Amino acid sequence: MKRIVVAIIGITILTLSSCQKQIETADYQVVPLPKEISLTDKKPFILDKNTVIECQKDLQKEADFLADYIEDIYGFRPRIMDAENDMNNVIYLALEPNDFANDEAYQIVVNERVIKITSRNNHGIFYGIQTLRKSFPVDNNVTKIAFPAGVINDWPRFAYRGMHLDVSRHFFPIDSIKVYIDAMVMHNLNKFHLHITDDQGWRIEIKKYPKLTEIGAWRSGTLIGKTMAYDTIRHGGCYTQEELRDLVKYAEDRHITIIPEIDLPGHMLAALASYPELGCTGGPYEVWKRWGVSEDVICAGNEHAMQFLEDVLLEVMDIFPSEYIHIGGDEVPRDRWKECPKCQAKIKELGIKADDKHSAEDYLQSYVMSRMEQFVENHGRHIIGWDEMLDGELAPNATVMSWRGSSGGVKAAKMHHNVIMTPNDYLYFDYYQTLDTDNEPFSIGGYNPVKKVYSYEPIPDGLDEDEHKYILGPQANIWTEYTSEFNVLLYRLLPRIGALAEVQWCNPEQKDYEDWVQREYRLTKLYKLYGWRYATHIFDIDVRITPNVKEGFIEVVMSKLVDGKIVYSIDNQNDIEYKEPLRITENCHLEGYVLRPDGSQGRVFRTDFDFSKASMKPIVLMEQPHKNYTFNGADVLIDGLRGSTNYRSGRWLGWYGKNADVIIDLQEVTEVSTVKFNLNINMKDWIFNARSVKVLVSDDGDDFEEVFAQDFDLLSADYTGSLYPVEITFSPVNTRYIEIVITPFDCPECHSGYGYPAWIFVDEIGVY
């Protein structure tokens, strides 16, 4: 069917282009893909300066958006008029009580005289308009646009189509948030989860507690990267209630509901810094400068603290009219409650008892959540909470947000609770989109490429058919520990939100990754029009590098998904058009990119191949690396490829609490005098430098003789590098076997891992 559609569009372009030069044809194959598109070979509708938008009175707002969208691209703005009987050159918006699947469903009918968008509700009209505006050719030289005649019927798969933003870890101004909302609109999303309080900053004005924003909205510094050092830059900001009401209206006009989150009773250091009496110890506290999970939480045994939470929720509900209020509940350590007389008294008063599944403090957390739920329900709303709510007794009407994978979602749906799926492994957009992280904006870590987002299926395995209805829909999250610039925020969002849109809107059988990439590529023209930064990986060259250790070469396969050809060069010599896989056998510098039909170049891929006397030689690991960081095994150390700063890239092996100990068989007696490798340093993730390095040699592989040994000092806490190069030289020696033993430290006293071993990560071992 797709092929027929393409053929018909093709004919239309031909017939039109012969008589009218500045005419271009619209393409209904947009993101997300409509459910049904059926085209005819009847004459198309032509949009031009004389086109008017006609609508019923209560669709005026939607008509305005359509006129804006047309003006944004083509520079002319259609007039908006009341509906008339005799229609010609009209885009007509109408509410009709027809047989639509739901309030967000719509129909577009196109003929020579009108484009008619109908729905039973304004929501559906709005999504019809979104589909139409995404079908426009984005080219401001065009004065006439041809819309192929036909019918589009469309409706969303999920009623909840969410996107989240953390404005606590980094503050973003209201105007930036509006742009973020605009991006959501373009992808048919309808729920905006605003994470507005956390340890690192309280961002919402609460009239009854002014110190929350006077003190709690500001921190005196921020952790630098993955180090243990801090900058001294004051960071913060907050939104007045008036600004937030304006934001609510802005979103509502665009058919998006804002769901505010007050994360309680943990992630509350900013509130504790403002009102220390709300904590178990009374402080002093400061607005947190680092990331992670703080042991200081709201005191659950303090009636004033409970009153505080309810007062805050009351003002929050007054600003945000949404059906749901998110009350957090994630990552609440029980340490303080265990030691707090008030919390222990509360446990007694409530008659809470530990059992074989949960501690008394777990049930104290359930008490806080249920109490807040009751309060919110008494005001006619419902709560959402993170899946930690399942660790204890789930509040009776709670909707569960499943973030630690999907299992929480399955468990909650089986208990007949509503669920929103935001599993971190598929839908966390704060994670990296590529393994080539040295060329990326610095991120919290993780690896969540666009293709993985696209592959996500929101109905998890393990649910019966009648339990599917509890899955309200999927949502992606952007936490902003490592995102301070709005441009970077957009880069993390786009184009992953395009993949998310199809997960949320389309049926599984409609999904086709490669087809989506083509449609998404077209959509980037709109991103450009609005000046939104987006990531281009999926439109660029993709390079697979596979060492063939047995045969002693490295195979390089290059591919691409969008139109154009692949061009590469070796050692910056001539550009060569790529035709077949390359075999690399010696040191060189390789570059490659996609050359697009319009002459533009995609992002350049660059890598160095670094061979030594050990390259492609048999290697044995005397100690096994950790199973999560074994990748292709020992070959990673002799495959001619150096690791980047990302220790998860597959080019590093990681050992935990053990020596990195390897023996390389040089296969013949060889003179050696130097060994080189890098260590990866990431103190936050417990990865340090080496306590000692030894080199031993042997002629038979049994008896080894030490030729080098050295101890090293632990790097100081303010070391900010990610790579730590080690180069060892010793008197030249002839040997067949060489053993390298790298010994790790334990985590030092000033570190959160004190008392535990540290990790050691090693990349390519060069022997010279």
* CB neighbours of residue 732 within 10 Å: 10
Residue with tokens 């960081």: 629
Q: Judging by DSSP bridges, how do beta strands 399-402 and 382-386 pair with one another?
A: parallel
Encoded amino acid at 704, one letter: F
Q: How far apart are CA 400 and CA 384, in angstroms?
A: 6
Residue with smaller CB distance to ligand TNX, 160 or 479: 479
- Is the Cβ of residue 317 or residue 444 nearer to ligand TNX in the bound state? 444
Residue 531 CB, shortest distance to ligand TNX, in Å, is 27
Q: Is residue 704 close enough to count as binding ligand TNX by CB under 6 A?
A: no
Catalytic status, residue 62:
no
Among residues 441 and 757, whose Cβ is nearest to ligand TNX?
Answer: 441
Q: Verify binding: residue 426, ligand TNX, rule CB under 6 A.
A: no
| Distance separating alpha carbons of residues 719 and 596, to the nearest angstrom | 43
- Match 């998006």 to its residue by tokens: 256
Query: Minimum distance from CB of 445 to ligand TNX (Å)?
Result: 8
**Which residues between 372 and 391 bind ligand TNX (CB under 6 A)?**
386
The nearer residue to ligand TNX, 128 or 449, going by C-beta atoms, is 449
Query: What is the Cα–Cα distance from 678 to 175, expressed in whole angstroms?
Result: 44
User: Nearest approach, Cβ of 603 to ligand TNX (angstroms)?
Assistant: 26
Question: Which residue's CB is nearer to ligand TNX, number 227 or number 241?
Answer: 227
Q: Which of 54, 330, 502, 540 binds ligand TNX (CB under 6 A)?
A: 330
- Tell me which residues in 211-240 interact with ligand TNX (CB under 6 A): none
Among residues 106, 171, 428, 516, which is the contact residue for ligand TNX, using CB under 6 A?
Answer: 428
296 lies in the binding site for ligand TNX (CB under 6 A): no
Q: From the list 24, 154, 261, 430, which residue makes contact with ligand TNX (rule: CB under 6 A)?
A: 430
Find, among 66, 69, 111, 133, the residue nearest to 93 by Cα. Answer: 66
CA pair distance 655, 635, nearest whole angstrom: 15
Which tokens belong to 93? 């918006």
Mode of pairing for the β-strands spanning 45-47 and 144-147? antiparallel
3-state DSSP assignment of residue 442: coil
DSSP collapsed to 3 states, 277-298: HHECCCCCCCCCCCCCCCCCCE
**Residue 569 bridge partners (DSSP):** 591
**Residue 89 β-bridge partners:** none
Sheet-wide strand order for 144-147:
23-25, 144-147, 45-47
Alpha-carbon gap, residue 739 to 568, rounded angstroms: 38
Counting residues that bind ligand TNX (by CB under 6 A) gives: 9
Q: In terms of CB distance, is 418 or 483 closer to ligand TNX?
A: 483
Which residue type sits at 767? V
- Least separation, in Å, of the C-beta of 226 and ligand TNX? 13
- Residue 171 as a binder of ligand TNX (CB under 6 A): the answer is no
Note if 358 is an active site residue: no
Contact status, residue 734 vs residue 608, Cβ threshold 8 Å? no
Judge whether 683 and 226 are in contact, CB under 8 Å.
yes
Q: How far is the CB of 388 from ligand TNX (least distance, A)?
A: 8
**198 classed as catalytic:** yes
Smallest separation (angstroms) from ligand TNX to the CB of 333: 13
Token representation of residue 241:
């209630």
* Closest to ligand TNX by CB, 305 or 327: 327
In angstroms, the CA 707 to CA 675 distance is: 11
φ, ψ of residue 313 to 5 degrees: the values are -60, -35
Question: Exactly one of 198, 261, 387, 481 is catalytic; which is it?
Answer: 198
Given 27, 103, 295, 331, the catalytic residue = 331
Cα(51)–Cα(282) distance, rounded to whole angstroms?
67
- Determine which residue in the list 331, 393, 542, 555 makes contact with ligand TNX, applying CB under 6 A: 331
Minimum distance, C-beta of residue 362 to ligand TNX, in the bound complex (Å): 17
Query: From the list 308, 479, 486, 724, which residue makes contact with ligand TNX (rule: CB under 6 A)?
Result: 479
| Min CB(630)–ligand TNX separation in Å | 24
Maximum alpha-carbon separation in the chain: 98
In the complex with ligand TNX, the residue whose CB is nearer, 225 or 757, is 225
Identify residues 439-458 at the interface with ligand TNX (CB under 6 A): 444
- Contact yes or no for 736/701 (Cβ under 8 A): yes
User: Closest approach of Cβ 193 to ligand TNX, in Å?
Assistant: 11
Decide: residue 753, CB within 10 A, 0-12 exposed, 13-18 middle, 19+ buried: middle
For the bound state, the minimum distance from the C-beta of residue 533 to ligand TNX, rounded and expressed in Å, comes to: 21
| CB contact at 8 A, 87 and 54 | yes
CA 73, distance to chain mean position in Å, is: 29
CA angle 139, 37, 465 (to 5 degrees): 125
**Nearer CB in complex with ligand TNX: 136/479:** 479
Asked if 403 is part of the footprint of ligand TNX (rule: CB under 6 A), the reply reads yes
Nearer to ligand TNX, 197 or 659 (CB): 197
Residues 6+ apart with CB under 8 A from 157: 504, 505, 506, 507
* H or E element in which residue 696 lies: strand 690-698
Nearer to ligand TNX, 289 or 596 (CB): 289
Measure the CA–CA gap between 170 and 279, rounded to whole angstroms.
24
> Smaller CB distance to ligand TNX: residue 180 or 479?
479
239 to each of 205, 310, 336, how far by Cα in Å? 6, 20, 31
Tell me the two tokens of residue 561. Answer: 């998904």
Our CB check for ligand TNX shows the closer of 146 and 309 to be 309
* Shortest spacing between CB 476 and ligand TNX, in angstroms: 12
How is residue 74 written in tokens?
Answer: 């083509």
What are the DSSP E strand ranges found in 397-533? 399-402, 419-421, 471-476
Q: Nearest approach, Cβ of 387 to ligand TNX (angstroms)?
A: 8
Catalytic residue among 187, 193, 195, 267: 267
Contacts of 310 (CB under 8 A, 6+ apart): 372, 375
Structure tokens given for 429 = 């957009």
CA 116/CA 96 separation, integer angstroms? 11
Alpha carbons 220 and 236: distance in angstroms, whole number: 9
Q: Is 54 in the site for ligand TNX (CB under 6 A)?
A: no
**Cα–Cα nearest to 296, from 350, 344, 339, 358:** 339
Strands 588-595 and 605-609 turn out to be antiparallel
Residues with catalytic annotation?
198, 267, 331
Question: In the complex, which residues of this chain contact ligand TNX (CB under 6 A)?
Answer: 330-331, 386, 403, 428, 430, 444, 479, 481
